[in-house]
Structure 1
């Protein structure tokens, strides 16, 4: 019942947001946390506070999260297909095939990473998964710091009142600095690129080019991250050090090399978007 109830609302929200703004603005994490809070609270009232209750709450959250994600992705694909003149029926068949194949490979990847490094470790911190674990355990074990939750809710209301999107603000708070610094720098570059444009049309063109460049970087980083994690996990399973493929070889020069790489990416981004006007 909880799966159907939450999925009904969040699938609709996900599809509409993606259709209006884009898949990158799909608040899957927020919808999942809301589902976990509701499910864990219901289980607490029913007395299902043991390990089975925690597993059940996690299962409900997983199903709703996957449903919302697939709904957003399908909405994006169908919108793109409509613009290109594709046949919806053929697209839907492709979506079904894609879900089946991706489920297999995602499960294999997650199982390998869990066996090699484990989640919540230094090699694989998984901050969002850790947050969801804390939500479930906090509600069912009755040790969730509701004072902090209330403070967060008040801050979210204030953000909305001053026209600051509360969800990106919250994501920036709980994600590690190593993740959010590049996001902040990317946002500054986008603002600078649009601000320096001579007209609204040029600004829109630069924005589209920057989004394409950023999307490629996000996809490439994800694939490279899985590859590095796989190599590190394999090294661990073989009894070696997972850090042997990292930046230890650079020694004291590692921060400088990372800064140079970041500057090079920023220069590539700027050169790409400024070609559009």
Structure 2
């Protein structure tokens, strides 16, 4: 997001008489990232959908759906804690340890080229245990951001970049928006059967030719998308049929409760946990070795002369005072605890558990930020699982508290990690840390309104989770919370979970070892997290991203990274932005089919409605008096019949 924000901000600034300075561009992309972080940090794609999936019969509590006001309150509760964590963490990982933060460094390089200033000095040392090696000896980073230093050191003049950038951005934006609007009127465009209608309807093998997905694949890079599609082939091509025909998952394939999709979810969860936890071991070891062991050795010895490179280069007036940090952390914890209590009440989570969630979020953010600085990957998924394990121990049996407290802890780690990339960019471009801090506060404040408004529009237009937005992480959060409460797993899933965890634990260890040795093949070792994401998403989500990854790989292979420039990133950004804007327009109003259905529902004859209500009342009465022996689940389904019944052209209810 930082690369796209810096690029688009620069292009827009060319419309004004006085373009923005490099430091202003840093602050601009800092605000943009802080605004865009909220949907992930506040759990709008995981925590809140998971609460909506609760089942009263199974979980003891009904589904929780937050109103607009409550969603704003929840966002305020977690919006600022990570911002106040950032300044002290910056001092540690950017100034003292000088970690690489590859995406932040790449953004600094891009800004330096766009604004025609000397490229920033990135020849900092990166500590690995007791070694200090030069930056050019580092292992090649994962392809989350597909632009590296070589991409942006020998680019064209900024005027040419601006002219060609506008052209590439406009046509890619228009193409993506046009395809999205076409799918709005002709939904079949975004659901193309790959191997016939049977496999498409029964086994979910469809292809979504979304330019936004392709653009995301370009940004992610070929190695990551390849790992994702390998996981998709194993999950949906092997394990899904195996679980179905072995009667381990007898329900419909797409059912998350007793279908193959819900069965392979547990395998995905085991892979993500194993990969994330093993990846944290080198970070924990380094913290122990460099801070505790080496610190103990130095006790009693003469003070060492500290390298000048390790000193803060900013004057105090440009730094964030520590008293701001202390008061901000205390205030954000108090405010967050109060707001969480107001939104969810004592039945949801106890205030003391919320406070522990913030504290644990601060501790986990240290691990997440260090992993991000080393590998460009923030293992928040594994950190979130650690928090769920902790809260299952201190507040057992409460699924809602487990999800909420885990979300509070993960929010701090997610937000601190994303903002640390921007602080690395600012450090290299010599932007004011205090100005960036204010920018982060502004972006976080704006994101509360932007995110809740967007979420409200999307939930009104779509079912979330649903076919268009499956929100797979919601099932991960809820599934682990249920597992920690009652320990019940689908048939035969535990054996596959154990085997998968062992295999990908070893793969993660091999990847960490190869990365620390700077091996050329590091990026080709499958990423366990990306592999597991291939399980969570249906094939349509992964295949389009693979196309983008292949485009990125072939483009750079043919053109050469030293000559390719940033045109491909511009095009990918246009693809993503075009569909995003078109989707927001679609969300603001219902589709023609939805509008017709709503009009028909409003025009239903009153007699039909009263007859329906009378039948419902008789059914509920007979059930309550034991005259009908039906499971509770069927009763709930019957009660929702009115919402899901179809309506013919005459306004009659067809059940």
Q: Structure 2 length normalisation: TM-score?
A: 0.31
Preserved CA contact (<8 Å) 2:460 2:587: no
2:498 equivalent to 1:165: no
Structure-2 residue corresponding to 1:154: 502
How many matched pairs? 228
Preserved CA contact (<8 Å) 2:362 2:413: no
Structure-2 residue corresponding to 1:141: 486
Preserved CA contact (<8 Å) 1:19 1:79: no
Structure-2 residue corresponding to 1:256: none
Preserved CA contact (<8 Å) 2:378 2:417: yes
Matching residue within 363, 381, 387 for 1:35: 387
Structure-2 residue corresponding to 1:246: none
Q: Please give the alpha-carbon distance, in whole angstroms, between the structure 2 residues aligned to 1:144 and 1:117.
A: 30
2:206 equivalent to 1:206: no
- Helix, strand or coil: the match of 1:147? helix
2:457 equivalent to 1:95: no
Preserved CA contact (<8 Å) 1:17 1:26: yes
- Helix, strand or coil: the match of 2:463? coil
Structure-2 residue corresponding to 1:12: 366
Q: Please give the alpha-carbon distance, in whole angstroms, between the structure 1 residues aligned to 2:563 and 2:554.
A: 14
Structure-2 residue corresponding to 1:247: none
Q: Please give the alpha-carbon distance, in whole angstroms, between the structure 2 residues aligned to 1:33 and 1:234.
A: 42
Q: CA deviation at 1:155?
A: 3.1
Matching residue within 222, 225, 228 for 2:586: 228
Q: Please give the alpha-carbon distance, in whole angstroms, between the structure 1 residues aligned to 2:591 and 2:481.
A: 28
Q: CA deviation at 1:148?
A: 3.8
Provide, for residues 117-176 of structure 1, a one-character-per-residue CA deviation record: whole Å limited to 9, x for no partner: 332222432122222222222322322353343233123124333732212221222222
Provide, for residues 205-249 of structure 1, a one-character-per-residue CA deviation record: whole Å limited to 9, x for no partner: 5385544543453454444444434434898488449xxxxxxxx
Q: Please give the alpha-carbon distance, in whole angstroms, between the structure 2 residues aligned to 1:36 and 1:234.
A: 42
- Helix, strand or coil: the match of 1:96? helix
Preserved CA contact (<8 Å) 1:190 1:207: no
2:423 equivalent to 1:78: yes
Matches within 5 A, 1:179-190: 179-190=541-552
Q: CA deviation at 1:57?
A: 1.2
Q: Please give the alpha-carbon distance, in whole angstroms, between the structure 2 residues aligned to 1:13 and 1:234.
A: 49
Preserved CA contact (<8 Å) 2:470 2:537: no
- Between Structure 1 and Structure 2, the one with more helix by share is 1
Q: Which runs of 5+ in 2 are unaligned?
A: 1-354, 512-524, 600-655
Q: Please give the alpha-carbon distance, in whole angstroms, between the structure 1 residues aligned to 2:406 and 2:563.
A: 39
Higher RCO (CA 8 Å, separation ≥ 6 residues): 2
Q: CA deviation at 1:180?
A: 0.9
Q: CA deviation at 1:116?
A: 4.4
Inter-CA distance 144–170: structure 2 relative to 1 (3 Å threshold): same
Preserved CA contact (<8 Å) 2:504 2:528: yes
2:558 equivalent to 1:196: yes
Preserved CA contact (<8 Å) 1:14 1:68: yes
- Helix, strand or coil: the match of 1:144? coil
Q: Which runs of 5+ in 1 are unaligned?
A: 242-277
Q: Structure 1 length normalisation: TM-score?
A: 0.67
Q: Please give the alpha-carbon distance, in whole angstroms, between the structure 1 residues aligned to 2:449 and 2:504.
A: 38
Q: Which has the larger radius of gyration?
A: 2
- Helix, strand or coil: the match of 2:586? helix
